[in-house]
Amino acid sequence: WHGSAYAGSNLGYNAHFANIVAAVFAATGQDLAHVVDASAGYCLMEEDNNNLYVSVTLPSVPAGDVGGGTSLPAQKTARDLMLTDISSKRTISTNRVLAFAEILACGVMAAEISLHAALAQGTLASAHEKFGRGGRHENK
């Protein structure tokens, strides 16, 4: 979050909530204009007795389960996949938007941990180089 604070962000203190929120919102038919709202949260990482405590707070996740892009077949399928109980293989039928927001927060937290681990190890740039991201690409 220090980077966000130094950059003067008033929208949140996190490494890249917006990447995950945008991907999930696009895949599930959410209103992409609300990526800004849902990304305006903060990530807290604290070391306590050699244990790492990580939390993410997303104060506003404007998401829906009906209307707009949520009715598109592929987006409905993606949302239903997210909201399926693995053990019973049944799609959650109550509190779907709350469950959606909780699952989104889990994805955001996982991505924050992954990015911070890569930064701490100094492997972020090498991973981009290894998988051909950034730099010049040749058309073949």
The domain containing residue 72 runs over which residues?
2-122
CATH number of domain containing 44: 3.90.770.10
pLDDT band for position 8 (cuts 50, 70, 90): low
Q: Is residue 93 assigned to a domain?
A: yes
Residue 42 lies in a domain: yes
Is residue 129 a part of any domain in this protein? no
Outline where the chain has alpha helix (H): 2-6, 17-28, 35-39, 73-82, 96-121, 124-130
For the entire predicted model, the pTM comes to 0.82
How far CA 73 is from CA of 20, 76, 79, 92, 112, in Å, comes to 21, 5, 10, 18, 30
- What digits encode the pLDDT tens for the residues 40-76? 999 999 999 999 999 999 999 999 999 999 999 999 9
- What is the rounded end-to-end Cα distance, in angstroms, of the chain? 40
Total structural domains within the chain: 1
Is 45 a member of any domain? yes
Residue 96 in domain: yes
> How far apart are alpha carbons 50 and 12 in whole angstroms?
27
Is a pLDDT exceeding 70 seen at residue 7?
A: no
Q: Each residue of 118-132: pLDDT tens digit?
A: 988 988 888 777 877
In-domain check, residue 101:
yes
In the predicted structure, residue 2 carries a pLDDT above the cut 80: no
pLDDT per residue over 86-138, tens digit each? 899 898 888 999 999 999 999 999 999 999 999 889 888 887 778 776 666 55
